Structure 1
Amino acid sequence: MRKALVIITLFFFYNLSSQEDKTLFVYGGQITKEFVKYTAELTKKENPKICFLPTGTADSAYYINYWYELCSDLNIEPKVLEVWINSSTQDKSFEEILLSMDAVIVGGGNTLNMLAIWKAQEIDKALKKAYDQGIVLAGGSAGSLCWFNAGTTDSRPKELTIVQGLGFLKYSHCPHYHSEESRKPLYHKNILKKKLTAGYACDDKSGLVFLNGELSKSVSIDTDSFSYFVYDKDGKIVENKIETEIIK
């Protein structure tokens, strides 16, 4: 009986330790060399394969070229996943491409359109598989908002509105927290009205690392940028600035 118990216990701890950590790195603004380099470090690989998704800008050629320029002197193997393709030009599925990567970085753009395309192409499901398998997921602006349960977006005409995210993280999110004037007050208003849950806001040059769904650390690329945890307490907004590490 004791021997059987020991075997069961060892089996449990083996499976627990062999599970891959789920890592998400989000930042408030557009992609930068510092953020790409930091994403590479999170993979713990010497020359990681990192795939960029420019879906939010309709696979903009400018954005793709910018991605390759950022990566030109970094120790990574840069890839791009384009969705405006046809069967004759691509011999692998989106899922096969994504699951062969060490990290995936999502660019900015129109969050609403990006998520709709992902759903139509089942890229959302492929990203969930990648996340569950320990592939590092990252991104800023639309590329950060997409991972949360919801947040405000400029993807519709006239004004900022709420968009539902993939829900990999159980919090709401606000990118561009101080760089765009209307972002912060509207985020606060929606939390107070219970339209959004408590969540995390990021300045353009600040980001957050989540490990297995919970906050692990904050990083910034200058001393003036921060991330915040924002929530409602007794009908008033509380904004907690998170201690940050400067990366280069």
Structure 2
Amino acid sequence: MSVATTPRLALLGGGFSTDDDGLLDDWLLGHARASRPKVCFIPTASGDAPAYIDRFLTAFRSRACEPGVLPLFQREHDDKALRAFLLSQDVVYVGGGNTASLLAVWRVHGVDRLLREAYDRGTLLCGISAGANCWAEGSHTDSFGPLTFLPDGLGLLPGSVCPHYDSEPGRRSGYQAAVATGELSAGWAVEDGVGALFTGGALTEAVTRAPKAHLYRLKPDGNGGAKERGVPCRLLPQTC
């Protein structure tokens, strides 16, 4: 199998964190560059919560992949080993939690730079909630308690991201207001159940495990508001 080198990342509105059917995770693995990919879970945003790690390992050990975990609060690798470990991964899967704290911890350990390098080499980057926010230039977040805008991120995906667009009160109105005022740049609103794949920064596939879940593109409308455009999503087939 040829090795993909085009930078790719995926925003997830579900997966093992929230769903039992495994549809989004199976879809994700279908885009890995190896038939039996190495999949690294990074649980930094949750403070390396043990239960979250266990849930990942339970979900992925039963799949055709090699799951691993990168803890940073009890770091196991020196700088050289950390780089070698991350660059050997086919998929990096970032969990939910606190986006602002995640970014701060990554920068202290140099993980932000290593993820950029892995991305440029073709590692598929992905995640849910904070793990989706982190790849963009900014995001809508509850990192500071109340929902607000965070004009910070790795910037691998142009624009901004809002997760849980349909499931958390205040998400839709808050993100629309932030885009309308320019506090966040134009971006992507991800409803729960959706998966969006970006190749070289451009959307190349959108799927959903739930018929009513959508992906939206938001831009300023030029009149002090925000224009919301729904993106067609392919419905993933249910498995028995």
- TM-score, normalised with respect to structure 1: 0.87
Tell me whether 1:245 sits opposite 2:234 in the alignment: yes
Instruction: Please state how far the C-alpha of 1:27 moved relative to its aligned partner.
Output: 1.6
Contact 2:4 2:33 survives alignment (8 Å): no
Tell me whether 1:49 sits opposite 2:43 in the alignment: no
Structure 2 CA distance for partners of 1:81 and 1:116, relative to 1, 3 Å = same
Among 7, 23, 27, the residue aligned to 2:8: 23
CA distance in 2, matches of 1:203, 1:94: 33
Tell me whether 1:75 sits opposite 2:60 in the alignment: no
Instruction: Please state how far the C-alpha of 1:203 moved relative to its aligned partner.
Output: 0.4
CA distance in 1, matches of 2:141, 2:65: 31
CA distance in 2, matches of 1:204, 1:222: 8
CA distance in 2, matches of 1:229, 1:107: 23
Instruction: Please list the CA deviations of residues 72-114 of structure 1 after superposition, one character each: whole Å capped at 9, or x if unmatched.
Output: 321111111110225xx54663221110111100000011111
1:43 counterpart SS class:
coil
Structure 2 CA distance for partners of 1:198 and 1:40, relative to 1, 3 Å = same
Instruction: Please state how far the C-alpha of 1:19 moved relative to its aligned partner.
Output: 8.1
Among 22, 26, 33, the residue aligned to 1:37: 26
Structure 2 CA distance for partners of 1:93 and 1:85, relative to 1, 3 Å = farther
Percent sequence identity over aligned pairs: 33
2:132 counterpart SS class:
helix
1:64 counterpart SS class:
helix
- Per the alignment, residue 7 of structure 1 pairs with none
Structure with more of its chain in helix, by fraction = 1
CA distance in 2, matches of 1:90, 1:242: 41
Query: How many residues align structurally?
Result: 228
Tell me whether 1:59 sits opposite 2:66 in the alignment: no
The aligned amino acid for 1:22 is P
CA distance in 1, matches of 2:73, 2:161: 28
Contact 1:28 1:201 survives alignment (8 Å): no
CA distance in 2, matches of 1:120, 1:174: 25
Instruction: Please state how far the C-alpha of 1:137 moved relative to its aligned partner.
Output: 0.4
- Per the alignment, residue 172 of structure 2 pairs with 184
CA distance in 2, matches of 1:19, 1:180: 36
Contact 1:107 1:143 survives alignment (8 Å): yes
Instruction: Please state how far the C-alpha of 1:44 moved relative to its aligned partner.
Output: 3.5
CA distance in 2, matches of 1:218, 1:39: 11
Instruction: Please state how far the C-alpha of 1:204 moved relative to its aligned partner.
Output: 1.3
CA distance in 1, matches of 2:111, 2:193: 27
Instruction: Please list the CA deviations of residues 118-139 of structure 1 after superposition, one character each: whole Å capped at 9, or x if unmatched.
Output: 0000000000000000010010
1:241 counterpart SS class:
strand
CA RMSD of aligned residues (A): 1.7
Listed as ranges, the gaps of 5+ residues in structure 1 are 1-17
